[in-house]
């Protein structure tokens, strides 16, 4: 069923749209690239090339001389505790930005669509959907400041006061500065809070596409809710699950603001993520070459992940066809 909605496929099947030409000259079309190509070369490709090159040099920045370093910077990455830690944290960020929101999103979307939409009315389910989506539109920096306030240490923190109220005993956890588990956990909760609305909205739209008769047939065959969910819902909205995982995985690898606002990488640099580390090295570090190596390594990794995802998707599309 994905095949009918794939633009690529339609492009190939039908005759493409084009303006008939007398001489069939296509050269003129390249002129339309001028502004876009010029901009993308200066703003995107010049920095990429420059940083890739810089990653093979030591450079203090400013007027200092560049000093060729060969593979030194790249080799140093693998000995660098903070760098390795930052990649370990990326796995936790992927849990918080991709895995948890996608799984929760599937359950909540099915709940809103199947139970609430069907049995309690479309108005309520649309309203709840908008509510879950709300954190998505807040600037992440603003959301970060909000959570920073909630998680203040000692007894003026909102969360601490709340816990004191529930447990009855004075709670004074230093959530963001105390220890790695609470700091990283707090960052992850913020990420889940921000991300949750995105899969819900996409999956609910996908569910509208599923033919209701499939469910009725399954119900007549005596399938229970879980069996229907797995055999029909999941199978039918697989493409959306795929798109959500791809886009959020790439976003997770590039994540910056939540860490910058909430923990500044602390305590003891334990909540570093690669982009924060690279930024910090560029701004405060002594070797921009090393910072460039960090940034380049993330860039390469993002590109690899994107290519793998696209390949897998193309393969599964071919299988479906």
Partner 1 sequence: MTTTPVQKDTTRASAGSGQPPSDDQLVKARGRRGGRPRTAAEWILMLLGVLGAAIVVFPILLLLINAFKSPADYSTSSPLDLPRSFDLTGIQTFWEQNDFLRALWNSVFISTMVALLAVVVSVLNSFAIGIGRVRGRTWIVLLFLMANLVPQEMLFDPLFTLYDDLGLLSNSWSVIITFVVIQSAFGTYLLSSLLGTFPKEILEAAAVDGASRWRILRSIIVPVVRPTLSVLMVFFFIWTWNEFLLPLAFLNTSDSLTVPLVLEQLSGERQTDTTTLIAGTLISIIPTIIFFLIFQRTLTRGITAGAVK
Contact mark string toward partner 1, 151..190, x via CB under 8 A: -x---x-x--xx--x-------------------------
Contact mark string toward partner 1, 228..247, x via CB under 8 A: -----------xx--xx--x
Per rule CB under 8 A, is residue 250 in the interface with partner 1?
yes
Q: Which of 42, 217, 231, 312 binds partner 1 (CB under 8 A)?
A: 42
Residues in CB range of 147: below 8 A, 6 or more apart = 186, 189, 190, 193, 262
Which positions from 193 through 212 interact with partner 1, judged by CB under 8 A?
193-198, 201-202, 204-206, 208-209, 212
Name the CA dihedral angle for 27, 31, 37, 42, rounded to a multiple of 10 degrees.
120
CA angle centred on 37, ends 31 and 43, rounded to 5°? 155
| Token pair 């960020």: residue | 93
260 near 214, Cβ under 8 Å? no
Per rule CB under 8 A, is residue 286 in the interface with partner 1?
no
Residues in CB range of 237: below 8 A, 6 or more apart = 203, 206, 207, 209, 210
Q: Which of 94, 183, 188, 295 binds partner 1 (CB under 8 A)?
A: 295
Q: How far apart are the first and last CA of the chain?
A: 8
Per rule CB under 8 A, is residue 71 in the interface with partner 1?
no
Hey, what are 251's tokens? 């976003």
Question: Of 184 and 274, which has the nearer Cβ to partner 1?
Answer: 274
Per rule CB under 8 A, is residue 57 in the interface with partner 1?
no
Per rule CB under 8 A, is residue 24 in the interface with partner 1?
no
Question: Of 119 and 318, which has the nearer Cβ to partner 1?
Answer: 119
Residue 238 burial class via C-beta count within 10 angstroms: exposed 0-12, middle 13-18, buried 19 and up: middle
Shortest approach of partner 1 to residue 193 CB, angstroms? 7
């Amino acid at each position: 069923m994905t095949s009918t909605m794939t633009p690529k496929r339609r492009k190939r099947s039908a005759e493409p749209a084009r303006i008939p030409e007398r001489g069939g000259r296509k050269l003129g079309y390249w002129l339309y690239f001028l502004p876009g190509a010029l901009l993308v070369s200066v703003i995107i490709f010049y920095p990429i090339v420059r940083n890739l090159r810089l990653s093979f040099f030591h450079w203090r920045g400013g007027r200092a001389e560049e000093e060729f370093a060969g593979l030194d910077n790249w080799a140093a990455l693998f000995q660098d505790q903070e760098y390795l830690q930052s990649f370990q944290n990326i796995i936790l960020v992927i849990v918080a930005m991709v895995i948890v929101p996608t799984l929760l999103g599937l359950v909540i979307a099915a709940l809103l669509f199947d139970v609430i939409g069907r049995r309690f009315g479309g108005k309520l389910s649309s309203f709840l959907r908008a509510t879950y989506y709300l954190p998505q539109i807040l600037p992440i920096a603003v959301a970060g400041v909000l959570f920073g306030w909630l998680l203040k240490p000692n007894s003026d923190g909102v969360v601490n006061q709340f816990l004191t109220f529930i447990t009855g005993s004075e709670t004074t956890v230093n959530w963001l500065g105390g220890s790695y588990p609470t700091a990283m956990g707090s960052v992850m909760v913020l990420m889940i809070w921000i991300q949750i609305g995105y899969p819900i909205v996409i999956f609910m739209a996908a569910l509208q596409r599923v033919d209701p008769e499939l469910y009725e047939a399954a119900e007549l065959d005596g399938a229970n809710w879980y069996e229907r969910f797995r055999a029909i819902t999941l199978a039918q909205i697989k493409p959306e699950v795929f798109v959500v995982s791809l886009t959020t995985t790439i976003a997770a690898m590039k994540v910056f603001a939540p860490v910058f606002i909430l923990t500044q990488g602390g305590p003891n640099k334990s909540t570093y993520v690669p982009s924060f580390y690279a930024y910090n090295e560029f701004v405060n570090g002594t070797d921009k070459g090393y910072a460039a190596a960090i940034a380049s390594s993330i860039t390469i990794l993002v590109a690899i992940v994107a290519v793998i995802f696209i390949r897998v998707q193309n393969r599964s599309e071919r299988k479906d066809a």
